[in-house]
């Protein structure tokens, strides 16, 4: 009898799904119309859960799965899982640290370039035929340079460091804030977020969101200033979204590149017409390479957890 596993979000890599199907009876909750009824029917058999970083799992759902032995988060953010609660139940929770670093950092740089250089509105200008209708050079405004700009990074974990490494190749002076000074890093540590915003042209959010909700507010955005850009590839809830929309609307900052939002997939529509705002649908880790590596880590976590062993990198056991 194959162990029963509950999968809360789709996995887009066929080889990972094939492997899951080969090893487990996989209950794909996202395919069910009546999720409550489905859980009531199958919950007692479920021994492993696979969920996404930003979707996590509620304590109520954990409680409805009495045979649960492991929660494998297919992502690096664990802010949507109550780790204390899992710990109190001796339930291993794993994440896919290291599997997506390069792609998330690449997208951060992509969002910087796209927002500063207004690549998306330039693309629309050509594709909609507006260039032919308005062939004079003034029809599309000047954009802003990225190279050499002061980059401030909020959260210097694996992703923050990978962004710094890339920005350094663009000759950007780099500063960061984190819970502590990281001695081995060659970048300027600025403990105060307001000061970091004041000293940055581009502020990049790469922090975990468990303890940092709403840290980017009107005061920070005003400190970033009218020529500044905010980039977020971490979590929407790091930002007071209404303050961000307001800052962009009144020109308190120049632009933004956002992959994450407070209430996905709902994005403030006020951002849509803004040429210096580039939006993505939470896709920073959505490459074949990252998602394959993440899926392999999920498979390893399930295998260990269901064998009664401590999965490598368990955050709770």
Residue 81 touches ligand 8YV, criterion: CB under 6 A: no
Give dist(CA 204, CA 184) in Å, integer: 20
Residue 47 touches ligand 8YV, criterion: CB under 6 A: no
Say which residues have a Cβ less than 8 Å from residue 180's Cβ, sequence separation at least 6. Answer: none
By the 8 A CB rule, do 297 and 276 touch?
no
Q: Which of 4, 27, 54, 235 is catalytic?
A: 235
Backbone phi, psi, residue 7, to 5°: -110, 120
Residues 1-30 that bind ligand 8YV (CB under 6 A): 9
Q: Which of 3, 52, 255, 311 binds ligand 8YV (CB under 6 A)?
A: 52
> Is 264 one of the annotated active-site residues of the chain?
yes
Measured from the CB atom, the residue of 202 and 297 that comes closer to ligand 8YV is 297
Record the tokens describing residue 118, joined without a space.
């207004």
For the packed helices 288-306 and 101-116, what is the interaxial angle rounded to 10 degrees? 150
Residues 242-301 that bind ligand 8YV (CB under 6 A): 282, 285
Instruction: Provide, rounded to whole angstroms, the least separation between the CB of residue 209 and ligand 8YV.
Output: 9
Q: Which of 56, 77, 92, 228 binds ligand 8YV (CB under 6 A)?
A: 77
Span of 15-23, 70-78, 84-92, 178-186 interacting with ligand 8YV by CB under 6 A: 70-78
Instruction: Provide, rounded to whole angstroms, the least separation between the CB of residue 99 and ligand 8YV.
Output: 9
Record the tokens describing residue 191, joined without a space.
């403990």
Measured from the CB atom, the residue of 103 and 201 that comes closer to ligand 8YV is 103
Record the tokens describing residue 53, joined without a space.
């970083």
Calculate the CA 168 to chain-centre distance.
22
Residue 130's CB: how many other CB atoms inside 10 A? 14
Residue 219's CB: how many other CB atoms inside 10 A? 13
Give dist(CA 253, CA 245) in Å, integer: 10
| Angle in degrees, CA 221, 227, 232, rounded to 5 | 50
Q: Which of 27, 54, 149, 276 binds ligand 8YV (CB under 6 A)?
A: 54
Say which residues have a Cβ less than 8 Å from residue 49's Cβ, sequence separation at least 6. Answer: 5, 6, 7, 8, 57, 65, 68, 70, 71, 72
Measured from the CB atom, the residue of 124 and 263 that comes closer to ligand 8YV is 263
The full length of the chain comes to 317
Residues 202-221 that bind ligand 8YV (CB under 6 A): none
Q: Which of 4, 161, 282, 291 is catalytic?
A: 282
Measured from the CB atom, the residue of 76 and 154 that comes closer to ligand 8YV is 76
Span of 35-43, 52-60, 265-273, 309-317 interacting with ligand 8YV by CB under 6 A: 52-60
**Residues forming the active site:** 235, 264, 282
User: Which residues form the interface with ligand 8YV (CB under 6 A)?
Assistant: 9, 52-54, 74-77, 100, 282, 285
């Amino acid at each position: 009898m194959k162990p029963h596993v509950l999968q809360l979000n789709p996995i887009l890599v066929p080889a990972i799904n094939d492997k899951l199907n080969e090893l487990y009876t996989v209950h794909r909750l996202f395919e069910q119309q009546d999720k409550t009824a489905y859980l009531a029917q199958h919950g007692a058999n479920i021994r492993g859960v696979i969920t996404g970083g930003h979707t996590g799992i509620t304590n109520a759902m954990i409680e409805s799965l009495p045979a649960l032995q492991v929660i494998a988060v297919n992502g690096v953010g664990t802010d949507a899982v109550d780790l204390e609660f899992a710990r109190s139940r001796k339930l291993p929770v794993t994440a896919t640290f290291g599997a997506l670093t390069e792609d998330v950092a690449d997208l951060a740089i992509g969002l910087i370039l796209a927002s500063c250089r207004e690549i998306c509105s330039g693309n629309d200008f050509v594709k909609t035929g507006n260039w032919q209708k308005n062939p004079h050079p003034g029809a599309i405004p000047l954009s802003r340079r990225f190279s050499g700009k002061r980059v401030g990074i909020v959260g210097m974990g694996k992703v923050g460091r990978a962004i710094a490494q890339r920005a350094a190749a663009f000759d950007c002076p780099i500063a960061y804030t984190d819970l502590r000074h990281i001695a081995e890093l060659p970048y300027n540590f600025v403990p105060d977020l307001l000061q970091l915003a004041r000293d940055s042209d581009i502020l990049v959010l790469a922090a975990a969101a468990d303890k940092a909700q709403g840290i980017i507010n009107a005061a920070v955005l005003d400190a970033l200033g009218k020529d500044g850009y905010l980039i977020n590839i971490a979590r929407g809830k790091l930002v007071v979204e209404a303050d961000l929309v307001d800052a962009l609307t009144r020109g308190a900052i120049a632009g933004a590149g956002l992959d994450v939002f407070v209430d996905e997939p709902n994005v403030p529509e006020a951002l849509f017409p803004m040429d210096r705002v580039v939006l993505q649908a939470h896709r920073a880790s959505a490459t074949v390479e990252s998602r394959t590596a993440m899926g392999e880590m999920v498979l390893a976590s399930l295998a260990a957890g269901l064998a009664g062993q401590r999965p490598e990198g368990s955050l709770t056991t």
